[in-house]
Copies of this chain bind each other. A is one copy, B any other.
Amino acid sequence: MKQVRGGVTAAKGFFAASTAAEIKYKDRKDMALLYSEVPCKAAGTFTSNIVKAAPVLWDRDIVAGGFAQAVVVNAGIANACTGREGMEFCRQTAEHAGAALHISADRVLVASTGVIGMPLPMERILKGIDAMVPALGEDADSGHEAALAIMTTDTHEKEVAVEVRIGGQTVTVGGMCKGSGMIHPNMCTMLSFVTTDVSISGELLQEALREDVKDTYNMISVDGDTSTNDTCLLLANGKAENVEITEKNEDYETFKRALNFVNETLAKEMAGDGEGATALFEVKVEGAETKEQARRLSRAVVTSNLTKAAIYGHDANWGRILCAMGYSGAEFDPEKVDLYFESSAGKLKIVENGQAADYSEEEAAKILSEPIVTATADLKMGKEQAVAWGCDLTFDYIKINADYRS
């Protein structure tokens, strides 16, 4: 597996464009268009929130059909809590883009992110589509500009791509995503778009995605709020011309590893760029009896406000970590737990068998002052493990979310 330059346009046959449609922002691009020159098999996972944004309902239907060829994304307005009118916005967007791209409207996925409850300015959306269709490019820059255009409170764009060899052919998997508030995915993350030229059956494509989100997007949390818009779309256009993957053989595992690399990278980027974050906070739970137990425990820790505030303060306040594990709903023996803090500044045992180890607070503070901080809890119960990613809770999180309607 080799990481390569680019994101959603890295795989063969994928094009992207972006534009400043002035949906909410006045000084930046806020729409992106993603297009494959041939129809793609489409897989997707969506928010578990009962309040589902209109684009989620639209895309769910299309993904159920199994095929798609384009995605229209806008930032600034979420098109959530917009009732029947919201569905009408999706239909108009898809029909307009479909006509311009000479494909059927039911091959056009749509995605929105931003404020809940406001209507989409359809005139600007349609004008944006008109501007993007002739500007579609398959170079890395086109993908990069699209990754910038879909951001809301993100401080930087998020994209990644890798190549693997499958059946003698080079297969590429690339993606882009955006955060960075209302992030506590329960099916998938806010908005993530992954493209690949692999040739694979639609069933296995969906299964690969469904399995992988459990260990990637579903293991991150910025603020515990599961969005109305969470959407992860995976498009496979077969242009790599490998022998189609139709069973769980070695090729399937190779593809899954590439997909996992792309998803995990994007998920970590989202967590580390959480609203107001100064650090990526990684929590590993090792020595668990079951994978689900390890997931539940690590997620509880990255979601704990008190723990996140302590990470911001570079304070080795380990009691808050054990406390969060304790209310996670997963069983374990607190008096067996060892806990370590680790970063580029070193590694330190903080807790041994559930009680304070003999460590230097000064050294711990040094470790916690780095931009990537890892807490590892060893349950000493079994061999399973899981990793969750979050970020610290900072003054800027409050500023971003109290000061303006994001």
Contacts and interface: CB of A to CB of B under 8 A. Distances in A.
Given A81-B354, A83-B354, A405-B317, A116 B322 contact: yes
A355 B323 contact: no
A274 B117 CA distance: 30
A49 interface: yes
A310 interface: yes
Interface stretch (A18-26, A144-152, A191-199, A223-231): A223-231
Interface stretch (A68-76, A122-130, A167-175, A394-402): A394-402
A334 interface: yes
B50 A320 contact: no
A250 B396 CA distance: 54
Interface residues of A, number: 63
Contact of A326 (B49, B78, B181, B304): B49
Contacts of A225: 304-306, 320, 323-324, 327
Contacts of A49: 323, 326-327
A312 interface: yes
Interface string A110-138: 00000111100000000000000000000
A323 B228 contact: yes
Copies in the complex: 2
A318 interface: yes
Interface of A: 48-52, 78, 80-83, 115-118, 181-182, 184, 186, 223-228, 303-306, 309-310, 312-313, 315, 317-320, 322-327, 331-332, 334-335, 351, 353-356, 393-395, 397-399, 401-405
**8 closest A-B pairs (Cβ-Cβ)?**
A116-B319, A51-B326, A313-B402, A309-B401, A226-B327, A49-B326, A50-B326, A223-B305
Given A305-B401, A309-B402, A313-B402, 15 more contacts: A51-B334, A52-B326, A80-B323, A82-B355, A117-B356, A224-B303, A224-B304, A225-B324, A225-B327, A228-B323, A305-B305, A306-B401, A312-B398, A393-B398, A395-B398
13 contacts: A49-B326, A49-B327, A50-B325, A80-B319, A81-B322, A81-B334, A116-B319, A116-B320, A117-B355, A225-B324, A228-B323, A309-B401, A393-B398
